Structures are given as C-alpha cells and as structure tokens.
Amino acid sequence: MGGETLPMQVVATKIEAVKIITQRRFYDDRGFFEEIFNSQRFKEHGLECDFVQDNHSYSREVGAIRGLHFQTPPFAQDKLVGCPRGALLDVAVDLRSGSATYGQYVCEELTPENGRQLFVPIGFAHGFCTLKPDTEITYKVSNYYAPDHDAGIAWNDSDLAIKWPVSSGDAKLSEKDQRLPFLKNAPEAFPIV
C-alpha cells in the first residue's frame, strides 16, 4: 500500500443541497488515516456549519431502520453522516415546502470501504437502513437534541416511494418510528425562505 486518495471531494446529489463527501485518505502498509471533518475545507466547498454534537448509533441486525427523523426550527440540524463499520443505505427526504424537489429523496450507500459521508442540510428528514450486521453510524449535528422539536415521517410512506432494501415485514423499527405520520399528515416544518 502507499499513496493517498484525491483531496476532499464534494459532489451534489440529484437534490443539489444534499452532498456526497469523500475525505482524503493517506495509506501505508498499516492501513490508512483520514480527517473525518475539517471546518476550513468545508467552508472552501461552501458548506458553512457549526457542528456542536457528535452522535454514534449501533444496530445489531440487517434491516434495522431508523428514521425518517428531523428537528423543527429553531432547533433544526444540518447532519454529516458516516459509517465506520458495516454498511447502510442513508436517505434524505426534502421537506422544504415550495421546493421543486419537495417530497423527493436521495439515498447513498455508506461503508467504511467507500469512505463516503452524506451531508444532509436543514430542511430534510434523515433515515437509514442497515445492510450488514453490527453496523455503526456516526453523525455530526449543528444543533443540540431538543425533545420538544423532535419529529419525523414514516419510513414506508407510499407517496415518498423510497426503494428500501427491506420489506415492511422484515424491517426492524422502534415503537416511536412505527408511529410516525405520513408526509401528507405532518405539519409544515421548513418553509422556503
């Protein structure tokens, strides 16, 4: 082994505001080193976030779904999501009313091997499904957890038509996530300004 990957890359998804980020890796015969986050490099790519909290989630089984979650203003959150172990399908749904892509989603497979991160800005619901056992997800957020502003929409909303890699009968969900409303029944949270 030797060398390094290209500098940090930021690529827009089909919804321009959501970005796929691949960090620079330095390889040698022991493995690799990479920066997970660098504020200066983010600003160079026009991503200005003041991340204030790091979260870490572990799921034992394949087919564990968490989401689709968001926090309402004034406690809305930008998120930077990565997968240091296992594999997951990460999903962001546009909740910005008035947006040309309102109700549409993007998804990206995140693994330790591909080193991708997903930047999910304010105005989007976020969720994921585990693709391997013992999957871990880490994510930075730009606002603290606020229980009174914690919200979500149903992962299996037929109007969203998300192509999850698991059927309803095989999905593993929390009781809270099983009770989330469909988008058409959820209050407007993110008006376009």
Q: Which of the residues are catalytic?
A: 69, 139
Give 91's strand partners: 107, 127
Give 163's strand partners: none
Beta strands 124-130 and 65-71: pairing type? antiparallel
**Among candidate residues 131, 115, 7, 111, the one with its CA nearest the CA of residue 61:** 131
Upper half-sphere CA count for residue 130 (Cβ side, 13 Å): 23
Amino acid at 113: E
